[in-house]
Structure 1
Amino acid sequence: MALELFMVGLIVKDMGRAIEFYRRLGLAVPEGSEEQSHVEIKMGRDGFTFFLDSRPDRWDAQFAWEEQGEQSKGYRSVLEFYLKGQEAVEAKYAELVGFGYQGVREPYQTVFGMCFAIINDPDGNALLLSGDTGK
Structure 2
Amino acid sequence: MTIHFSAVGLVVADLGRSFACYRLLGLDLPTEIPAVPHFETTLPGGLRLMWDTVASVRTFYPEFEPSTGGVGLAFDCGSPRAVDETHAALIEAGCTSTKAPWDAVWGQRYAMTTDPDGYAVDLFSALPG
**TM class by smaller structure:** 0.7 to 0.9
Aligned to 2:96: 102
The Cα shift of 1:121 comes to 0.7
With over 3 angstroms needed to count, the CA separation of the structure-2 counterparts of 1:93 and 1:31, relative to structure 1, is closer
Aligned residues: 127
- 2:48 is matched with 49
Deviation at 1:104, TM superposition (A): 0.7
Q: How many angstroms apart in 2 are the aligned matches of 1:130 and 1:57?
A: 35
Distance 1:43 1:134 in 2: 27
Match of 2:18 in 1: 18
Identity, % of aligned positions? 28
RMSD: 2.3
Partner residue, 1:7: 7
Match of 1:30?
30
Would you identify which runs of 4 or more consecutive aligned residues in structure 1 move more than 2 Å?
Answer: 1-4, 30-36, 60-63, 98-101
Look up the equivalent residue of 1:104 and give its one-letter code. T
Distance 2:35 2:116 in 1: 17
TM-superposition CA deviations, 1:26-65 (whole Å, max 9, x none): 2111354343311111111x2111111112234x435512
How far, CA to CA, are the matches of 2:100 and 2:85 in structure 1?
A: 11
SS at match of 1:23: helix
> Structure 2-normalised TM-score?
0.83
- Where does the alignment leave 5 or more consecutive residues of structure 1 unmatched? none
